[in-house]
């Protein structure tokens, strides 16, 4: 995919398959840049309400994470509109909200005819924008707790025969988790639905992964029985990135 995940780079934007746009903003860079730079970026890219909100957050790390996420969402939408519609839109004019109730509470939405997804991990915020529902999850290289590792490995075939199954058997555990969470975020549920309700079934050399929905996910999203058009999973620069789209 040609994506770089570098906490030392303030912003990178990538255009992916199926009209998807990915924006990567460095939380670590924002933190190191200091309060004055954060205030300038907030003044340039945020609405007055957003700028006041981020300034009100008491914890510095939370301010950096929130600002990075908001910048990633706005830049992904602006870049997507420019590339696909030839429309130049100011980031300040992109309104970002979240679903406020129900199973999809917290899912980000914007005032444009696109869908967005957002994830944070270890110094980076990533946002994906596309014409249909999307999900994204980013994880960093870490030791997976034994109980979670056991659950992530339990669904694999004991003696995989298909190439995709064999490659899946060697998929890093944090990437397995990212795949499951990206699928659940696509439907807007996040971890309100157990990640075990997404069963991974294969992973190809080009990064595409396959999965099936178990009954707990189907109960809330019957359309999950049809799967998704695109499901990608990559290990990049010590991070694990999964992106899914209808």
Q: Find, among 182, 184, 210, the residue nearest to 197 by Cα.
A: 184
Kindly report, residue by residue over 19-70, the tens digit of the pLDDT.
999 999 999 999 999 999 999 999 999 999 999 999 999 999 999 999 999 9
Cβ neighbors of 43 (< 8 A, separation 6 or more) are: 51
d(CA 46, CA 72): 12
In this predicted model, what pLDDT tens digit does every residue of 98-138 receive, in sequence order?
Answer: 999 999 999 999 999 999 999 999 999 999 999 999 999 99
40, containing H or E segment: helix 35-45
Q: What is the pTM of this model?
A: 0.93
Please report the pLDDT score of residue 39 as a whole number.
Answer: 96
User: CA-to-CA distance for 57 and 61, rounded, in angstroms?
Assistant: 9
> CA 188, CA 237: separation in Å to the nearest integer?
27
| Highest mean pLDDT pick, 75-79, 221-225, 228-232 | 75-79
Give the relative orientation of helices 35-45 and 60-85 as an angle to the nearest 10 degrees. 40
DSSP element (H, E) containing 120: strand 115-121
Domains of the chain from N-terminus onward: 11-131 (3.90.470.20), 139-245 (3.90.470)
């Amino acid at each position: 995919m040609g994506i770089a995940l570098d906490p030392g780079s303030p912003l990178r934007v990538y255009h992916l398959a199926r009209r998807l746009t990915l924006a990567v903003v460095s939380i670590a860079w924002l933190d190191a840049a200091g309060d004055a730079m954060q205030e300038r970026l907030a003044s340039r890219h945020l609405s007055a309400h957003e700028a006041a909100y981020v300034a009100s957050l008491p914890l510095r790390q939370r301010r950096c994470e929130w600002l990075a996420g908001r910048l990633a969402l706005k830049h992904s939408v602006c870049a997507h509109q420019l590339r696909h519609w030839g429309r130049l839109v100011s980031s300040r004019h992109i309104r970002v909200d979240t679903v406020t109730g129900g199973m999809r509470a917290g899912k980000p939405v914007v005032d444009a005819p696109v869908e967005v997804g957002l994830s944070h991990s270890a110094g980076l915020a990533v946002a994906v924008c596309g014409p249909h529902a999307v999900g994204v999850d980013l994880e960093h290289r870490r030791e997976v707790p034994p109980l979670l590792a056991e659950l992530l490995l339990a669904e694999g075939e004991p003696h995989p025969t298909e190439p995709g199954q064999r490659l899946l058997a060697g998929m890093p555990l944090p990437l397995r988790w990212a795949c499951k969470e990206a699928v659940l975020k696509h439907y807007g549920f996040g971890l309100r639905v157990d990640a075990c309700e997404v069963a991974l079934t294969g992973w190809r050399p080009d990064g595409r992964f396959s999965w099936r929905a178990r009954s707990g996910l189907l109960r809330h999203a019957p359309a999950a029985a049809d799967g998704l058009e695109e499901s990608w999973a990559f290990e990049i620069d010590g991070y694990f990135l999964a992106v899914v789209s209808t």
